[in-house]
Amino acid sequence: MSSQKPHILVILGPTASGKTNVACNAALKLDGEIISADSRQVYKFMDIGTGKDIEEYTIDGQPIPYHLIDIKEPGYKYNIAEFQLDFIQALNDIVSRGKTPILCGGSGLYLEAALKGSSYLGIPMNEERRGELEKLGLEELQVIFEGLSEQVKRDLNNETKRRVIRAIIVDEYLKENPNFKTVDIPDFDFTIIGVDVSREVRRNKITKRLKHRVENGMIEEVEWLLQNYLTYDDLEYYGLEYKWIGQYLKKEISKEEMVRQLNIAIHQFSKRQMTWFRRMEKNGYNIHWVDGDISLKEKVDEVCNIYSAV
Q: Which DSSP helix (H) or strand (E) runs through 7? A: strand 7-12
**Which CATH fold topology does 201-267 show?**
Helix Hairpins (1.10.287)
Residue extents of the structural domains in the chain: 123-181, 201-267
Within 8 A by CB and 6+ apart from 299, the residues are 18, 22, 195, 290, 291, 292
CA distance 237 to 165: 12
User: What mean pLDDT do residues 199-211 have?
Assistant: 95
Range from 74-83, 86-95, 221-230, 272-281 carrying the lowest mean pLDDT: 74-83
Res 118: pLDDT: 57
Gyration radius (Cα) of the chain, Å: 20
Within 8 A by CB and 6+ apart from 185, the residues are 84, 88, 114, 115, 116, 117
Instruction: Tell me the per-residue pLDDT of 206-224, one tens digit each, with 9 for 90 and over.
Output: 999 999 999 999 999 999 9
Is 121's pLDDT higher than 90?
Answer: no
Most confident of the following: 3-7, 32-36, 128-132, 200-204? 32-36
Do 183 and 84 form a contact (C-beta atoms < 8 A)? yes
Do 213 and 306 form a contact (C-beta atoms < 8 A)? no
CA distance 258 to 263: 8
Q: Given strand 100-105, what is the order of strands in its sheet?
A: 66-67, 32-36, 100-105, 7-12, 189-196, 287-291
The DSSP letter of residue 72 is B
